[in-house]
Amino acid sequence: MTELHEMDATSQAEALRSGDVSSVELVQHHLDRIDAHGEALGAFITVTAEQALERAAAADIALRGDAAPFTGVPIAIKDLTFTRDIPTSMGSAAMRDFVPPVNAYVVDLIEKAGFISLGKTNTPEFGLSSYTDNDILGPARTPWDTSRNAGGSSGGAAAAVSAGLVPLAQGSDGGGSIRIPASSCGIFGFKPSRGRVSAGPAGSDWSGLAVDGPLSRTVRDAAALLDAMAHPMPGDIRPLPDPAVPYVEWTRRDPGRLRIARWSGTHLEGIEPGPDALEAFDAAGELLESLGHEVVDIPNPFPQALEPQFNVIWSSGIAGVPLPPEAEAVLRPNTRYWRARGATASAIELSQAMQFLEATTREVVTRLLAYDAVLTPTLALPPQPVEWFNESGDPVEDHHRELLYTPYTALYNMSGQPAASLPLHWSAESLPIGVMLAGMSGQDGALFSLCAQVEAAAPWLDRRPAI
C-alpha cells in the first residue's frame, strides 16, 4: 500500500478531493515525519505545527465546496522568504528574532492555491553559499547519506522533499540554489526564467540573478507550483506575463524532436567534472538520443571572464543587506568575507559588472538559439561531507571549494534562462547525481515538456532514501 508521503502533491490533492484522506490526516502524517526525521536532516528551522493543523481543519471544510486546486496539501517555505508573523531568520543568528510583518507575494500566491505550509526550511546565512550550514541549526544533510551536506542554499527544502517530510517545497535560486540541493538530494528542481516569479513586496530583483522556484519529486508537481507562483506583482521591474498555457499542460505535451547542445567542460580554468558527473552526463545524452533528439557536442560558450564580474554583483548584494553594527560580530566568517569584499566595490564597478554580464550572456544566448535546449552536469562533484566546504576556516578556500562543486549552475542565473536538475543517476555509493537541462529565455513551458518526457522514459519517483 502506498503511504501518504510516497504520493506526490498532485496525487495528494486528488486523494483529498475524493475524500480518501482528510487534510488534517495528511498534515499530521507529514508533521509526524518531521518529528521523526527533521532534526537529523537539519531540514526545518521553524515548524508551524499548530498553525498548519488549524489551516488543515479549515481546508477540510473548504473541500466540501469549490476549493482551490491544492487545498489542504502540505508544503514548506524557505527561511529566506518573508512569512507574516512567523520567524524568518534568513539562516543568520543576527536575524534570529526577526518576524516579518508581511508575506512575500509568492507566499500569498502559494496560500491562494490552497497549500498549507508546515514551516520554514533550513538555509545558509542570507542564502550565501552552495551548501547549507548556519549558526542557528547547523547543516542540512542529504537523506541519502546524512554525513553529507544537502547542498544550498535551499538545502533544508530539498532534504525535506527527498525524505518525504513534505511533497514539494518553495526554494530560491541566485546561483544554483534550487538545482544544487535538488541534485544532492535526488529530486527535481526547477529555476524559472528571470522575471517569471515576483520578488515583491519587500524583496528586490535588482541584480536579475535570483528567482523563486519549486523543488519536488515529480515534474508535474513542479509545474503546478510554478503555475501558482508565476504571476507578476504591480511594480515588478522585470515582469513576465502570466503564462498563456499552464505549465502543467506543458508537461502533457510531446516536445517534438529537439536539437540539444551539450558540454561537460566548465568555463573555469583548472576545474573539471568528476567521474560521477561525467557518467551521469553521458547517460543522459544517450537517453535523449534514444528519445529521438539530436544531441550536439559544443564547447562551453560562457567565458571565464564572467566569474569575477559575477562576484562583484554577488558580494555587493550581501554587502547591501542592512544590519545594525552589533550584528556584524555574530555573522559567520564567510559572510563577513563577502560583505567586506562587496564594500570595496564602487558604484561604477558594480554598474560595469552588471553591463558586462548582460552584454556577454546576451551574446551567448543569441548563439544558443540554434538549439532548443542545453545539457550539462548539474554539479561537478557528488554530495560532499558536511565539513568539507569550510573545514579550513578560510573563506577564500571555502569559495574555491564551492567552485569545484558547482561550476555550472550560476551561468543560467547570469543569462536568465530556465534550468532544471533531473535526478537521473546514482553513484556506486548510492549518492544522487543530477543532470541539468536548460531552455531558452522565457521558454519555461517547453523545458517542462522535455523534462516530463525524460521523466516518463526514466522515472525516478519510486527511488527514495531509506528513511
- Tell me the per-residue pLDDT of 223-239, one tens digit each, with 9 for 90 and over: 999 999 999 999 999 99
In this structure, is residue 464 part of a structural domain?
no
Work out the average pLDDT over 343-371: 98
Peptide bond into 392 cis (omega under 30): no
Written as nine digits, the cell of 226 is 510554478
In this structure, is residue 31 part of a structural domain?
yes
Among 11, 129, 130, 153, the active-site one is 153
Sign of CA dihedral 164, 165, 169, 173: negative
- The domain in which residue 72 lies consists of 4-457
177 is catalytic: yes
**Does residue 28 register a pLDDT over 90?**
yes
Mean pLDDT of the chain: 98
Helices (H), 196-256: 219-229, 247-250
**Does residue 66 register a pLDDT over 80?**
yes
**Does residue 1 register a pLDDT over 80?**
no
In this structure, is residue 418 part of a structural domain?
yes
Among 78, 89, 191, 198, the active-site one is 78
The CATH number of the domain holding residue 355 is 3.90.1300.10
**Does residue 446 register a pLDDT over 80?**
yes
In this structure, is residue 465 part of a structural domain?
no
Where on the phi/psi map is residue 127: left (φ > 0), alpha (ψ -120 to 50), or beta?
A: left
Among 177, 183, 207, 441, the active-site one is 177
Work out the average pLDDT over 340-369: 98
78 is catalytic: yes
In this structure, is residue 462 part of a structural domain?
no
Extended strands (E) in 23-91: 44-47, 74-78
In this structure, is residue 157 part of a structural domain?
yes
Q: In total, how many domains does the chain have?
A: 1
Distance CA 262, CA 391 (A): 34
In this structure, is residue 188 part of a structural domain?
yes
pLDDT of residue 29: 98
pLDDT of residue 325: 87
216 is catalytic: no
